[in-house]
Amino acid sequence: MSTVLRLASITKSFGSVTANDHVTLELKEGEILALLGENGAGKTTLMNILFGHYAADEGTVKVFGKTLPSGRPRAAIRAGVGMVHQHFTLAGNLSVLDNVMLGSEPLLRVRSRRAEGRARLLALSERFGLSVDPDARVSGLSVGERQRVEILKALYRDARILILDEPTAVLARPEALCLFDTLQSMTRQGLSIIFISHKLNEVMAAADRIAVLRGGRKVAERTNAETSPEELAELMVGSRVTRPKREAHAIGAPRLVAEDVTVHLDSKPALKGVSFTAHAGEILGIVGVSGNGQVALGSLLSGVAAPETGRLTLEGREIGGLGPRALIAEGVGRIPEDRHAEGIVGELPVWENGVLERLATPRFARYGFVRRGAARGHAAGLIKRFDVRGATPEMRIRLLSGGNIQKLILGRVLAAAPKVIIANQPTRGLDEGAIAAVHAELLRAREAGAATILISEDLEEALSLSDRLQAIVGGRLSQPVAAGEADSRRLGLMMAGVWEELGNAV
């Protein structure tokens, strides 16, 4: 097999941070190479250099034997490199065909060659098994379909090397498996693929070769056959990371109780008569395939949405529809599903984000004025206690990595010693080190007697943390099962909505 791509000794620094340190990488024709590393290991920076979004400080990029001029995405496209970004770059108001053709035609051409474009798109979609409707509006497509459009967009521009940045971060498991099938069929037709990931099982399932980045350096390269998930985890993190284990302990009185609660989102029922009871010192896991009512449940428990019918009580007091501030005052701590969109205001400094939820409380405000000293001190304490790396109270929080932002949000919640914790996808998109830290904190809060609702799409996480589990399907909740009696098979059935015949509920 010939080498189609060679990155030689790429170095790139941002200020005092070295994102890539003399990284050398080769891609062979018809191969799937996985770029594995924790958040902040330099994977995305490396791919952005390859694609010309960034200019490297040192090193060269050779595609099909020719050196690419640095910092020119167009040159990379012309050389046959296509990139599928983690956050899609599609125009929602345009059709699939428009999105695919956009930018591929000379600006001054009088008429767009749509008929040819459509034929080409359909041929590509046929050839690679990426079915799409060329006339569908992108805003109406699912995430998986959008990703297909992104891939087609790259193929339309004659990409022969495809780079996918965390392609499965947004996909449910079946969609991810389907994507890997597609990638494999593409390599059989001569394409070469690099995909970025921090998920071990995924890398093992899909990649021919795996390059591990850590701290900006390439620390290892292995073929699929000669490595194991354990070895990769160790290479990726540097030392062996073990997720903390849940210890059995006595569970207390009922804390947060939902009885037959219905919630409407956009005036459609999204939660249909759900009931659950979370006890003190217990983690109640809510598992399910995404889009089955988790958003509505999260909104209800965060105080953003009010129940249409039914009761939601905390230690017997009705708290449904109280609103975020009142819920926090009642002792509810909330970890939002989307940390960037809901958890933080990126442009504000760390200290303001650290107290935003409790800005109006006497501890952080007097006569309507912010007690800046107290607020800054609080943030400094959070940074220290929860090991938020690289943070100072004054710095804009946007500059922190996802894992460190999550640690700050977690700290903001836990510092108030909440009675109830709502953890909505608390480790989505985090690397192993950060996941272990978040799990440890949630378990510590459980030890301290908090009742936790863990809404998670990650079965492994839900199984290892939860005392009891309920499945969410189509806006309804199953009966709870004890963690000891739940295995993946049984949970799989529950998540498919088959729970009536599963007797012995607890």
Partner 1 sequence: MRFERRARVPWSLAVAAPFAAIAAALALSAVLILAAGVNPLLAYVEMLRGALGSRLAVTEMLTRAVPLVLTGLAVAVAFRARLWNIGGEGQFYLGALAVAWVGHDLISGLPPAAGIAVLTFVGMMAGALLLSGPAYLRLRFGVDEVVTTLLMNFVVILFVGLMIEGPLRDPLAFGWPQSVPVDGAYHLPDLIPNTRLHIGLLIALAAAGIVWLIVARTVFGTEARAAGFNARAAEFAGVSLPRTIIGVALLSGGLAGLAGGIEVMGVTRGVTTTMSPGFGYAGIVVAMLAALHPAGVVAAAVFVATIFVGADAMSRATGVPSFIADVIVALALLTMLVALLFSSYRIRR
Binding site for partner 1 (CB under 8 A): 14-15, 53-55, 70-71, 302-304, 323-325, 328, 334, 336, 341-348, 352, 356-357, 359-360, 365, 368-370, 372, 395-396, 399
Distance in angstroms (rounded) separating the CA atoms of residues 358 and 365 = 9
Residue 249 or 372: the one with the smaller Cβ distance to partner 1 is: 372
Minimum CB separation of residue 338 from partner 1 in Å reads 8
Asked if 134 contacts 97 with a C-beta cutoff of 8 angstroms, the reply is: yes
Q: Which residue has the tokens 């799990």?
A: 439
Minimum CB separation of residue 304 from partner 1 in Å reads 6
Residue 326 or 448: the one with the smaller Cβ distance to partner 1 is: 326
Residue 129 or 324: the one with the smaller Cβ distance to partner 1 is: 324
Residues 6+ apart with CB under 8 A from 176: 167, 168, 202
Write out the two tokens for 2: 């010939």
Minimum CB separation of residue 408 from partner 1 in Å reads 13
Distance in angstroms (rounded) separating the CA atoms of residues 300 and 91 = 31
* Helix spans in 266-311 (H): 294-302
Residue 156 or 364: the one with the smaller Cβ distance to partner 1 is: 364
Q: Please give the helix or strand (H or E) that residue 477 lies within, else none.
A: strand 476-477
Minimum CB separation of residue 364 from partner 1 in Å reads 8
Burial degree of 502 (CB within 10 A; 0-12, 13-18, 19+): middle
Minimum CB separation of residue 52 from partner 1 in Å reads 9
Minimum CB separation of residue 369 from partner 1 in Å reads 5
Distance in angstroms (rounded) separating the CA atoms of residues 422 and 328 = 11
Minimum CB separation of residue 57 from partner 1 in Å reads 11
Residues 6+ apart with CB under 8 A from 166: 86, 196, 197, 198, 429
End-to-end CA separation in angstroms for the chain? 58
Asked if 438 contacts 405 with a C-beta cutoff of 8 angstroms, the reply is: no
Residue 186 or 453: the one with the smaller Cβ distance to partner 1 is: 453
Asked if 32 contacts 193 with a C-beta cutoff of 8 angstroms, the reply is: yes
Minimum CB separation of residue 336 from partner 1 in Å reads 6
Residue 45 or 292: the one with the smaller Cβ distance to partner 1 is: 45
Dihedrals phi, psi of 423, to nearest 5 degrees: -110, 105
3-class SS of residue 9: strand
Residue 336 or 411: the one with the smaller Cβ distance to partner 1 is: 336
Residue 343 or 418: the one with the smaller Cβ distance to partner 1 is: 343
